[in-house]
Amino acid sequence: MMKVVKTIQELRQLLTEEKSQGKTVGFVPTMGALHRGHLSLVQRCKKECGVAVVSIFVNPTQFNDRGDLERYPRTLAADVQLLQAASCDVAFAPSEKEIYPEPDTRIFDFGLLDKVMEGERRPGHFNGVAQVVSRLFDAVKPDCAYFGEKDFQQLAVVSEMVRQLGLPVEIVRCPIVREADGLALSSRNALLTPEQRAAAPIIAKTLFAAVDRVCDVDLAALKKFVEDSINADERLKVEYFEVVCARTLQPVASLDDDCAKQACIAVHAGKIRLIDNVRLT
């Protein structure tokens, strides 16, 4: 039977008992509004670890837009039911005061990792991510933590934070889960109007088409193709499309650059902001 705990003290007591029996602890940090993408992480965590812990906490420090924070869906009762059905062992649903008993003033230096794409357009976002994930890691002390590749830049930042702080946790990267029409699963999808939802699959369709074209065009032509294809639908507006080195996240100068390349995109559907990415080469 899954346990729902709301304090760090209760969580630590529970996990200390589990670890004393030799069990490994796997952890999936979430902001709730769970979908099949989250549940795929939980299922892998459950398969690979003795205890599966999932946190549900909408972290205020990673929102640079107050309206985005207020709009973010909060569905705790439904989330708990989904986690029970997924055989999660522990759901950790703390209050803001529990995670931040006092303001977190730490400033992280991630070099250039957080200066592009999401970091460039959402000042302070990744610092807030590092604040909350480091606090959650301290509370759970997991052996492994599971993150989806939809948030490709976040994965790079969290991995670098773990390296800098010397935390004994393995970061496990998990593939993007998509709807049948290609749309990457996201909690924000629930906020789309029916018209916006009908348009949203154009994002993934265009990215997959870009993969098919990568050997036949140059970087400028590829960018123009992606932006023009998506912007042709008046319900969507590209905020950025970047082809970056998958390791450093820095934009490549050419599609011939000698590195693994990731195509990353952010698109507005009205006030809702959707991100996606695909491996190019």
Active site residues: 38
State residue 154 phi and psi, 5-degree precision. Answer: -60, -40
Task: Check: CB of residue 85 under 8 Å from CB of residue 43.
Answer: no
Task: Check: CB of residue 99 under 8 Å from CB of residue 135.
Answer: yes
Task: Check: CB of residue 30 under 8 Å from CB of residue 94.
Answer: no
**What angle, 0 to 180 degrees and rounded to 10, lies between the N-to-C axes of helices 125-140 and 8-20?**
50
Residues 6+ apart with CB under 8 A from 97: none
* Partners of 54 in beta bridges: 28, 91
The residue length of the chain stands at 281
Residues 6+ apart with CB under 8 A from 219: 243, 252, 253, 254, 255
